[in-house]
Structure 1
Amino acid sequence: MKESIDLSQILPIIAPIIVIQLILMVIALVLCAKADHTRGPKWVWVLIIIFVNIFGPIAFFIAGRRTDG
């Protein structure tokens, strides 16, 4: 018995994850652009933030920002 999964069943689960991902990405990109110094080149962090889905922005928040000035 093969059950087909309807999009209307999956959308309520996936939509909040997509929204959280987009919010994290936008915030991380803005903070990266405004940062004077980062740990590593900014262009690498931009690529990580964009292409590593939810974990890229979180990695930037944890390891990418420099607070020592």
Structure 2
Amino acid sequence: MNSLNQLKEYLPFIIPLLAVQFCLMITALVHIFRHNSYRFGNRILWIIITVGINTLGPILYFTIGRGEE
């Protein structure tokens, strides 16, 4: 029961972080599906990285993976 109380205590911090992570992932996935050029790798690789590495995956895509528009 103590761990449930600790979780309730941290929920105001966890929920916004999860929302930001989810928005980043959706934005990166939409960009991946709409564009065909990437600096490194291919579409499948970036989908796996974006979904598999949660917050860091979309950040990596937007910093090093996104191709020239």
TM-score tier, shorter chain, comes to: 0.7 to 0.9
Large movers: runs of 4+ above 3 Å? none
Alignment of 1:2-41 (within 5 A): 4-5=2-3, 6=5, 7-38=7-38, 39-41=40-42
What residue identity is the alignment partner of 1:61? F
Q: Secondary structure at the match of 2:37?
A: coil
What residue identity is the alignment partner of 2:56? F
Alignment of 1:54-69 (within 5 A): 54-67=55-68
TM-score w.r.t. the length of structure 2 is: 0.86
TM-score w.r.t. the length of structure 1 is: 0.86
Aligned residues: 65
More displaced, 38-47 or 21-30?
38-47
Q: Which structure has the greater CA radius of gyration?
A: 1
When the two chains are superposed, the root-mean-square deviation of aligned CA atoms in Å is 1.2
